[in-house]
Each structure stands twice: as structure tokens, then as C-alpha cells.
Amino acid sequence: MITTGFIKQDSGALKNQLLLKERNLKQLFDLIVTEGEISRAALASKTGLSPTTVSALTAELMESGLIVSSGIDKSNRLGRRALLFRVNPDRLQLPTFAFERFGFRYILYDLAFNELENIFFPIEENTDYIANLPNLIQQNSKLLDLSKCAAVCVILPAIVDLKGHKIISTVLNVGNQHDLFDSLSHIFKTRPIVVGNESAFYAYAEKEFVINRKVQNLVYININVGVGAGLVYQGKIYRGSFGMAGEFGHTSVDMNGPLCVCGNRGCLERLISTTQIVERFKAIKGEKLSAQESQSLTLEKVAEAFIAHDPQGVQVMREVASIIAFGMKNVLRIFDPEVIVVGGGIEIFGPAFLEMLKEFLTNGGTSIFRIEAEVRYTELTIACKNRGAAKYYVDNIMNIMQQQAKEVIFC
């Protein structure tokens, strides 16, 4: 079964007519996805399409199996009760693969973005996990139905070079990326592979599943072993001309700072990644930490010290907050988002650290450049980057009429 190109094209139709029909179908489908349940009248009102056009197109969407009737509108309005439509969750499956430092997370979603399966595969040393990927999925996935797969989403803590079609990572050893795509193609033989940056998919997930969807401009600051940012601009992921937009970790806050692997000096990734936070705490504690305590020190233990008002813990995190805020001000001045979400792991330092960030953001300067953006912690789990990728594919890449080729789509 072909899972893209659901509605048969009229071979005699002009190209412009087909494009218009695809746009209208996708507009209706996306609105049904967003609203959960909606009537034809509401679809016509929200899209500006005529009731006749909406009726014809929803009939085609129902015939294709993408939407189903969910009953009659039970509102108190007078007159004939309207038929409601919703997405058919069983029509498609969306397999996603998020690659992390110590493994990869496979999550399978249905078309309503309900999680069907969630399996974490640790990457063992000296194991060619990319070559073994087909066997791992085939042996462990119980619910995957290859006939229903729309596309495969790959999420990476890496720069995704849009023009050069390559992956650049300072955190993950991607090796020969073509092996990864070939391995996925071995499982999902005729499906497109959608590849993107994890911070960008986190940002999109925040917009769609947590924050009001009317928010059009959002930044997700991802502070983990690496430091990055995801940008949502005018409702869509913004990656710039070459895929380098959002490289928050490789913006400099100290021209005389330590040399970074990117060739710049004083990059945020060299100063305030979660690894660097632990090292800062070790340095300030000095001989107060035994060799064993120093070796076993984790970010969680630093957070415990900070929350318990340990003086050195508070000092370290004030330094970290001031550096992050310095970098965030640059983003605010250039991008001017409505919301900045902070996540990736640093949120374990709790509300007191978030207040520190806000304090450093608003200190100094004049009222000419007031900070209007809302600054908040993420409310998502680590797995929501997978869900963000699946949602982004359906919203911005999936076609209704035209079958998508077997290809790698960088976004």
C-alpha cells in the first residue's frame, strides 16, 4: 500500500488546479488535526472555502481514510445538528528515531500522535548499531505496520546542513551518515526519511503540545552535554539558509575565552553545558571533594547542592545564569521571540535558577530594550522531540495527493 498520495489525481487536470486542490485538502486536514473535532460549517468558516468545496473535499478525505466521522455536534445551537470529523489515527504510523549520546530512542506514533511504542536501545561500545538497526527494530517492535508508515523521522543532536545534505555533530559520532540512511531504507523501503535537529523539534513540540498554538515565534534553549537552540519563526522551524540557525552553543560570549571545536572562542557550549557545570562545581569545591566524590559527581548532585543552598553551588549557578542570560539577550535582540523555553536538563535546578535567569535578563541597560518575551522551563519529557518531529512532518511536509518519493528530506 502506498501511504502518500491518498487521493487519486485527475490526469486531465492542470498543474495549477492540482496544486490548489492539494493546498485546500492539506489546509482542511491540518485544521482537523489541530481542532480534534470540527464540522464542515466550521471548516468553511475558518478556511474561507465555500461550503460546497469543503463538502466535496471532506468526502475525498473520508474516502482516503485520513478522516472519519466522530458523530453529531451536541452543542445547544438551533437547527440541524452538524456532522463532526476527526483524524483517523489508525490510517498511518509515524516511526521516529532520536539519536542520543548513549543510545537511540525509537517511538512509534499513530496519526493522532498517540504513542504506540517507546523503546530505548543503548549503544554498546564496539557495536555497529547502525548496521544492526534493521534487526533491532524487526526483533523488538511489536506494533510496527510497514504498510501504514508515512515517513521515518530522524532526530539528531547535530547541525543538519541543508545545502550540503550532511550532518555535523560535536556530541554524536555519526560516522558515515549514508550507512544510517541506507539502514533505515532497508526497513522502510519506499518511505521518505525526514532528518532534523533535536532542539528544533523540541521547539516545535513546545509550540504545538504545550504553548498556545497562536504563538508564532519561539526559541527553545537546549542545555545538555551540548548547547543548542530551536527556532520557530512564523509557526515553522527556522533553520536559515544552510541549516546553521539556532546554533546557540556556538555563539561567543567571550572573545578571549577557551577555544571551541568550531574554531570560535568563548562559545556557550564551552562554558555552560551540563558537563561544564559539573566541572565548575568540582573546581570551586576543590579539596572539599574527595577523589571518589569528584569522580562520581553528576549534574543531579550539583542540583541537589544548589537547591539545598550550598554556597558554592549557588555561586556556580549564578555564574552560569549570568552567562546564559548574556547569550539569551543576543537571541532576544536579533530574533525577538514571544516565548523562550529553557530545557535539555538544566531545568532540574528548579524555580530558583529560572528566577536567576530572569534577574540577569532584566538587570542593566535602559527601558528602551525591555524584555517582553515570556521565559519558562520546558514542560516536556525527553521523548517529546520525537513527537515534535512527527507533528512537524504531518503539518509541513506530508502531501495528500502527490506520492512523496523515497528520499532524505533535511529540515
On the CB side of 315, how many CA atoms lie within 13 Å of its CA?
9
d(CA 291, CA 15): 71
**Residue 171's pLDDT band (cuts 50, 70, 90):** low
- pLDDT value of position 2: 44
Q: How far is CA 76 from CA 71, 131, 366, in A?
A: 15, 59, 53
- pLDDT value of position 1: 40
Residue 66 has pLDDT above 60, yes or no: yes
- Domains of the chain (ranges; CATH) run 15-87 (1.10.10.10), 93-200+384-410 (3.30.420.40), 213-377 (3.30.420.40)
Residue 241 has pLDDT above 60, yes or no: yes
Looking at per-residue pLDDT, the higher value among 279 and 368 belongs to 279
- pLDDT value of position 300: 96
- pLDDT value of position 41: 92
Residue 124 has pLDDT above 80, yes or no: no
- pLDDT value of position 13: 65
**Residue 290's pLDDT band (cuts 50, 70, 90):** confident
pTM for this one?
0.89
- pLDDT value of position 405: 65
pLDDT, averaged across the chain = 87
Amino acid at 208: E
Residue 38 has pLDDT above 70, yes or no: yes
Q: Which of 10-19, 45-54, 326-335 has the highest mean pLDDT?
A: 45-54
- pLDDT value of position 360: 92
- pLDDT value of position 90: 96
Residue 166, Cβ neighbours under 10 Å: how many?
15
Residue 379, Cβ neighbours under 10 Å: how many?
13
pLDDT digits (tens, 9 = 90+) for 253-274: 999 999 988 889 999 999 999 9
Distance of CA 31 to the CA centre of its chain: 20
